[in-house]
Amino acid sequence: MRCFHACSVAAVLLAAATVAACASGGEGADPSGVGGTTAPDAGRPDTGSSSSHDAGAADASPAVDSGGGGLPDAGSSLDSGSAQETGGDEAGDDAGPPAAIAVAAGDLHSCAILVDSTVACWGSNSSGQLGNGTMTDSAVPVAVTGLSNVQQLAAGWAHTCALVKGGTVTCWGHGANGDLGNGASNPSATPVAVQGITTATAIGVNGYHACALLQGGAVQCWGYGQDGELGNGASVDSNVPVPVTGITSAIALGVGSAQDCAVLQDHTAQCWGTDTYGDLGNGQMGNGSNVPVAVTGLTNVASLAAGLIHVCALDTMGNVSCWGYGADGEIGNGQQTNEATPVAATGMTGVSAIAAGGYHTCAVMPSGRIICWGQGTDGQIGNGTDFSTAWPAPVLDLLDGAQVSGGMSHTCALTTTGHVVCWGSDSNGQLGNGAASATAVTMPVAVTGL
């Protein structure tokens, strides 16, 4: 098993609509639906997927005010709103006008879609995953070169991809395993077009690979495939997209490090890839599959979030269930055991959106409270400690969350006011507050300029 980061594509509940409403002075959107990590756009292909929610227009005012002319140049009881309060101001308060409409956390880097539909990234840049034409780390956001009209963003181990208006996909960063999908196996420090993808409605990125949900319900994946994560019946890499076998009616994706899943039109789920710890949810352990298999007993699924070696599902009633690796409490049921079939996360009802990090999971509540559980040794739970927890715990000083995204050992959130906060490991500046530190940050801090 490769130790890659994990993040979820299905981590937002109408985040863009809420931010857009705040930017224009209107009311927030109804939090009863499930959205993707998307920016608002009325012209995006509509497949009926919950991950292609049309949130309306966002205010394209200057995206980041860093005080120096913007970004550097290119080169249930748990939702009470009162638990574990510290009495301080919420992170990101008084940060100025809205700056961002979506956030994506990678392994050691993070990115955000800005209000003008461009992208900024920060953190590790060892393979060019910040997209600014260099391979130099940055502890503050830097603009991705030549990228506009971005609707969705997803970050992997050392590469990043964006869904662009019209249905095309671009990627940048690590490319040795075909991660960029452009027919080559080289890194790129600026965005390059993924071959043959013209009708994408959602994307997911994790480890060294990526997947796209296409208009009509098919799924294609590219990059590292040696654990069967491309789902095409082979266990080899591909530097161009290949169709996932038998998936023709998908409405949402959950892309993990070495296991991927899709929600089908009938609201069941199928997964493919590694199964060492029950990752596929079909009642088995150790029997990976390079084609999709049905997740046992799972119905009414709205969205999925796949981590390093665990997966969680959010159903249409707002309930969360998880399966796979659970030794750090990733399942959220108070136990530290692996589960080969879905198990309900304790107290996780009425949830708006979910995200999975490396070994942790987070949920957004309708109130704006964010709840996390699992590994916390780098502060990624955000509850003021560096301890793991098998019970869902509220993130401190964050009551206005609209979206959450989990990295390997850090977490970032978008607030309803259009600002970005992060917490957890900051070894490479992935928290974006100007300081790259070996010390765990156990509570949210504001990303500089966002």
Structural domain contains residue 9: no
- Written as one string, the DSSP assignment of 250-266 is EEEEEE-SSEEEEEETT
- pLDDT score recorded for residue 91: 60
Structural domain contains residue 140: yes
Structural domain contains residue 299: yes
pTM (two decimals): 0.82
Structural domain contains residue 30: yes
Structural domain contains residue 312: yes
Helix, strand, coil share of the chain (percent; to 5): 5, 40, 60
CB-based contacts of 383, cutoff 8 Å, min separation 6: 84, 372, 376, 389, 393, 394, 395, 396, 442
Residues comprising the chain, all counted: 450
For the CA atoms of 342, 11, 123, 168, the dihedral, rounded to the nearest 10 degrees, stands at 110
- What is the span of the domain harbouring residue 102? 15-446
For the CA atoms of 28, 30, 33, 37, the dihedral, rounded to the nearest 10 degrees, stands at 0
- pLDDT score recorded for residue 93: 52
Residues of the chain with pLDDT under 70: 1-95
Structural domain contains residue 6: no
Look up the CATH number of the domain holding residue 339.
2.130.10.30
- pLDDT score recorded for residue 79: 52
Count of the separate structural domains present in the chain:
1
- pLDDT score recorded for residue 97: 83
CB-based contacts of 286, cutoff 8 Å, min separation 6: 275, 276
- pLDDT score recorded for residue 87: 34
- pLDDT score recorded for residue 89: 41
Structural domain contains residue 32: yes
Q: 387-411 burial string, b = 16+ CB within 10 Å, else e? A: ebbbebbbbbbbbbbbbbbbbbbbb
Structural domain contains residue 196: yes
Give CA–CA dist 130/150, Å, rounded. 15
- pLDDT score recorded for residue 95: 61
What's the distance, CA 303 to chain centroid?
12
